[in-house]
Amino acid sequence: MSSLQKHLLKKSLPPALPKAFLPSSSHGSHGGRKRHKKNYTPLPWSDFFDRSEDVRVDNNCFRVYLCGTSGPVLLLLHGGGHSALSWAVFTVAVRQLIDCQVAAVDIRGHGHTMTEDDDDLSAETLISDIGAVAMALYGEKTPPIVLMGHSMGGAIAVRAAAKGVVPALVGLAVIDVVEGTAMNALVSMQGFLRGRPTSFKSLEQTIEWSIRSGQLGNVQSARVSMPGQMKRVDTSEPVEIRGEPVEEFSGSADSTRDSTSTPHLRVDNIATETIKEEEEGEGQRTEGGHVHKEQSESGSTPSDLSSASIGSTLKEHKQKSDLSSSEYTWRIDLTKTQRYWAGWFEGLSSLFLTTAVPKILILAGVDRLDKELTIGQMQGKFQMQVLSGCGHAVHEDAPDKVAEIIAGFLVRHKFAQPKEGFQRPFPAC
């Protein structure tokens, strides 16, 4: 049984609410153990991206978060249930290393993307969406594009690359998705999804839950990405924490940018509950029955990886609340998408190996490789990097390390120019 399957089976049991959510929680020392505070206040996406655009394609509107104006484009596709904001911390990190642009897309049914049929998550529809968004954004003057995806987004990236729907495609990067292990894990997916809380009292609670339950290992990434997975229970509007207006961009042949902003829920005031104290040692992941802190080779935990090098560039916002009585739930009900799951992953390994562009596969564990990819990797058909100690959301748990790997991949193939001080990492295999 792979570690991914064990991870899903372990999480099929409903996770208990963190101690901080229960009444009569005292603060200060307990039993002589030192406690420390973590900040679960949401961060606005404008701390990480330059701007966002609502790209109109026919009667559909796709939210895209953008950064940069020169260099190749990293076209980023998130995993199922996540949003484009899962790439926020990675975006800041990679743009410190190389000259590149970033376009992170909210896939149909996720985040702030609104379509005529949000429930259609078939591989064919999602592939068509990505090609149409790329054409609408760049048209005939498309810069070189490196398509990059995580989990479901990685599967769609492979299929879109194989079908040739993305113009000027020069590279493909896939994070922690392999056909064999993904197909085997699908039997446990419904139990995992049913084990999650169905609603939360505040955005802080969603962020804290993601860390305490082990869904994410990086607090900074959770603070910006988790609100993108939520919607208001009372209005069903997606939650947005932003500081700048949203541009609207039509994908038609005679399209022009509309100076007016599409109305979305704007959360300028966030519930400021007391930040809970947690004991040292809480929030650690377990694998194989052994409890350990996720640390990099330098000894930093994933939550510290980004803050050490890019934390100084991100603004902290202190915000008061008029939403303390509001409740939040998941933006998308993934349990209703089961009929599409197999279609995302079937035949994926063969498509990945035969795609005629340079490829890189980043995994959280070497045991995720299936037979076909193992043979392909031994034959040198793609570059592979394993980041052990991370969870499934590798790019969120260790954004700095993923940024170094991707930057090295782009520089190695002469897709991008390194910035001053960049040290090219030696490819693992």
Active site residues: 151, 176, 392
Those residues whose C-beta lies under 8 Å from the C-beta of residue 386, and which sit 6 or more positions away, are 362, 363, 364, 365, 366, 428
Task: Give the rounded distance of the alpha carbon of 264 from its chain centre.
Answer: 21
- DSSP secondary structure of 343-363: HHHTTHHHHHHH-SS-EEEEE
Closest to 310 measured CA to CA, from 403, 195, 405? 403
What single-letter DSSP state applies at residue 151?
Answer: T
Q: What share of the chain is helix, strand, coil (3-state, %, to 5)?
A: 35, 20, 45
Sign of the C-alpha dihedral computed for residues 225, 82, 227 and 18 taken in this order: negative
Contact at 8 Å (CB) between 75 and 166? yes
Pairing of strands 169-175, 359-363: parallel
Alpha helix (H) residue ranges in 213-265: 219-225
Contact at 8 Å (CB) between 259 and 66? no
State residue 198 phi and psi, 5-degree precision.
Answer: -90, -20
Alpha helix (H) residue ranges in 164-263: 179-194, 203-212, 219-225
CA distance 175 to 95: 19
Closest to 348 measured CA to CA, from 192, 165, 106, 181? 181
